[in-house]
Amino acid sequence: MGNQTSKTTPGPNAKAIFQTMLMSDLHLEFSQQVIPKFPVVASILILAGDIGRPDLPSLQKFLLVQCQRFEHIFYVAGNHCFYEGEYETRLQQLQELNNLHPHIHFLHNQSYLLPFNVRILGTTLWSHVSEEKASAIGVLLNDYHHIWTRGEKLEGDATIQTRRLITVDDTNRWHAQQHAWLLEEISKARKNREHVVIITHHAPSRHHTLPKYNVDLDIDDAFVNDHDADCVDPVRLWMYGHTHASTDLIIKSTRVVSNQLGYAHETTGFRPNLRITLYDDGAYYEKEYVTANFEQLFFSIMLRSSPILLLIFHIIGSVDQEARLIGTHIVYRHGDRTPIFAYSTSSVSASFWHNGFGQLTRRGQLQHIRLGQHLRQRYSRLLNTTYVASELYVRSSDSDRALMSAYSNLVGLYPISKDKLKEKILSNLSNQDEWPELLPWQPIPVHTVPASEDYIMGVSQCPYFFELVEQIQSGEQVRNISNDFQEFFRHLSNWTGSEVNNLFDAWILADAILIEALYNVSGSWADTMTLAKLEQIVGLSFYYLFDSPDTNRLIAGPLIADIWSNIQNLITNQSRGYKTKIYSGHDASIVAVLSFFDANYFHHPPYCATLLFDLYYLPANNSYALKIEYLNSSDSFAGYAIQPPPCSEAMCSIDVLRPWLENRLPKQDMKTECMPRKSSSSMAGIGFNKMYQIDVILISFVFILFPTGSLN
């Protein structure tokens, strides 16, 4: 091959030796993800990771369809392939994809030789995280909260299989192994005079490969590597994904390309008809099958026929007929928190946790800063860059973790540019009437009311709700589930020193144990199987608690009514309508709203889980529509569209939604709605402080769900 330099134009006698299509980050694990139709313009399809999860049918279906269209499909794993599972198990499932069809080639530290001496090298190439950024990335990046790995513990003479979350040390080790393999394969290819094409998920270089917000957050090490030195002969082409920013550049003598779809709300530069061709003289050629640009189209039509200009101007005018976002309502759960309490046999007490029980952690603060940055990016055209009181209103439950989450979120939502930071930003505060422009923070009010008066973010004093909880707990569905778990409950009682008789008892303990496991301080008995069952118990408990129309109406009703009131104000152009209302709450708030719209499922909303109620104006028919999305991950920010029951599509007409919604919302004031229904009940007028008059099981349940009279 010689020492070739990449060039864009092939010579007159050059021969094409390799031609492929490329795409990544399709994220088929999200059921609402829409994949653009793409033509077949090459015989090879390269998938540079994060296509889907191997434990879900969507990935296999996609691959089998493409097998009928392409002769070869080369595929490497992305980080999301391993989410909600064990690294080792998922890797095996990915390798088994090769058995689906002979056209599929999943590559994990593996190579494939094509005609004309083209060598394909495939691996994930996890990024190397520097020591100074390891702490922040370990907190901020969801990989370290949603991917597990196997481990072992010695207990006496026995070796016990355990499961733990991956760490930065794990991904750095994988990076070192995979990079060493790549270097060895490149060396072999050089000796064999082969043309090398590399497929990785993480980027090989940090030059022009990252969206700006990842750099601003100082988490670039989680997405890119510093392997520019490897971009030399015989490496002709290096394709990657992961950054959600498509690129096409030359690094040294190697063409570095990505073609990433990303999440539904993102603009990544994805090209569904991208084709890449390599030639034997070292040139590459790219052709995109797209229409002429607008300027060319305009002048060519203008020269031909003036009547068609009317069509052009009609097309231009039609842009104004598109849906226009005029308001949003954001409901989110607080960030990572400490346990609410310690069970009898726990090895850690309140003093172990920074600020004690039930408090937002540093991890939780950073999670919400990142969510705030995402919201800034998503709503940049709706919100001013500085706080304007008439366009934003923030409401929080009266709990420390929800209030601190709201303030942390606002740091990300209203950031101060890095280049404005100075060493002595507070040096000039002599003018008491002007806010110092260089101060890296904007004071923004967060509103709350005492828990005893709060129906929007909690249930306050609501005896009827607690009556319903008792009924659900003793109902047939929960009793049957509890019976199925009896053997596990006996073990749980022994492990924790706590009495566990039913689903809700186990739920209380699960909350503490799962958090301890997240911080690697749980007992050795909290192995993979135990943690999986506890996660299942939490999901079942939330589901059945709010599956009742009465419970989800009492919890979600006042919150949705408040959102609905602001929507009406925006539609009627009243000055008291806010462009953005934010509600900082708890997991029960999220589940109750999902249940209200018949969209809940067996799960526990993760920290920072977010519901978005976007209000659009439709100029075409002078009407309004609401689109609801659920972001159910702490860092991916990919939304699931929620289709309300009366609507035929996710973009739901306000006129269609109005009668259904008004029929479902509480009909009376909440004090009346919450009056007890039991005729002989002694619960009349009961509040949270008197809940101890109810049976012990319900006391414990209320303690975990309503620790301060508001939602957990």
Q: What is the DSSP string of 669-687?
A: -HHHHTS---TT-S-TT--
Report the 10 Å Cβ neighbour count for 695: 11
In this predicted structure, the answer to whether residue 215 has a pLDDT above a threshold of 60 is no
pLDDT value of residue 127? 96
**Which of 237, 268, 288 is the last residue before a domain boundary?**
288
In a domain, 151, yes or no: yes
Say whether 580 sits in a helix, a strand or coil.
strand
Q: What are the b/e assignments for 671-685, b being 16+ CB within 10 Å? A: eebbebeeeeeebee
Q: Count up the domains in the chain and report the number.
A: 2
User: Residue 513 — very low, low, confident or very high, per pLDDT cuts 50/70/90?
Assistant: very high
Question: Which residues constitute the domain of residue 367?
Answer: 324-418+436-705
| pTM given for the model | 0.59
Indicate the pLDDT class of residue 161, thresholds 50, 70 and 90. confident
Q: Which CATH number do you get for residue 22?
A: 3.60.21.10
Q: Does any domain span residue 352?
A: yes
Task: Specify whether 498 is located in the same domain as 374.
Answer: yes
**Lowest model confidence (mean pLDDT) among 24-33, 464-473, 629-638:** 629-638
34 and 91 belong to one structural domain: yes
Q: Which of 235, 263, 288 is the last residue of a domain?
A: 288
Q: For residues 241 and 329, state if they share a domain.
A: no
Is pLDDT larger for residue 393 or for residue 31?
Answer: 393
Q: Is residue 278, in this structure, part of any structural domain at all?
A: yes
Domain boundary among 268, 288, 308: 288
Matching residue, tokens 């003036």 = 306
Over residues 580-594, mean pLDDT = 95
Which residues lie across from 169 on neighbouring strands? none
* Residue 449 shares a structural domain with residue 506: yes
- The pLDDT assigned to 446 comes to 97
Average pLDDT estimate for 214-228: 78
471 token code pair: 């009924």
User: What residue spans of 288-361 are helical by DSSP H?
Assistant: 294-304, 307-318
pLDDT at 700: 43
Residue 349 domain-assigned? yes
Q: Evaluate whether residue 591 is within a structural domain.
A: yes
User: Is residue 543 a part of any domain in this protein?
Assistant: yes
Whether residues 272 and 127 fall in one domain: yes
SS3 content of the chain, % helix, strand, coil (to 5): 40, 20, 40
Asked if residue 565 and residue 453 are part of one domain, the reply reads yes
* CATH number for 351: 3.40.50.1240
Cβ(21)–Cβ(275) below 8 Å: yes
Q: How far apart are CA 538 and CA 543, in angstroms?
A: 9
Q: Virtual CA dihedral for 57, 63, 67, 73, nearest 10 degrees?
A: -150
The pLDDT, as a whole number, for residue 225 is: 94
Q: What is the pLDDT confidence band of residue 319, given thresholds at 50, 70 and 90?
A: very low
Q: For the chain, give the mean pLDDT.
A: 83
- The tally of CA atoms less than 13 A away on the side-chain side of residue 289 is 9
Q: Would you call 640 exposed, middle or buried from its count of C-beta atoms within 10 A (0-12, 13-18, 19+)? A: middle
Question: Does 416 or 511 have the greater pLDDT score?
Answer: 511
pLDDT band at 11 (very low <50, low <70, confident <90, very high): low
pLDDT tens, 126-159?
999 999 888 888 887 889 988 999 887 777 777 7
Verify that 192 and 330 share a domain, yes or no.
no
Same domain flag for 537 and 410? yes
Q: Verify that 348 and 260 share a domain, yes or no.
A: no
Say if residue 692 is in the same domain as residue 545. Answer: yes
In a domain, 119, yes or no: yes
Is residue 278 domain-shared with residue 358, that is, in the same domain? no
Averaged over 234-250, what is the pLDDT? 93
Considering the domain architecture, whether residues 332 and 282 belong to the same structural domain is answered as no
Per-residue pLDDT at 302: 41
> Smallest Cα–Cα separation from 198: which of 127, 246, 254, 249?
254
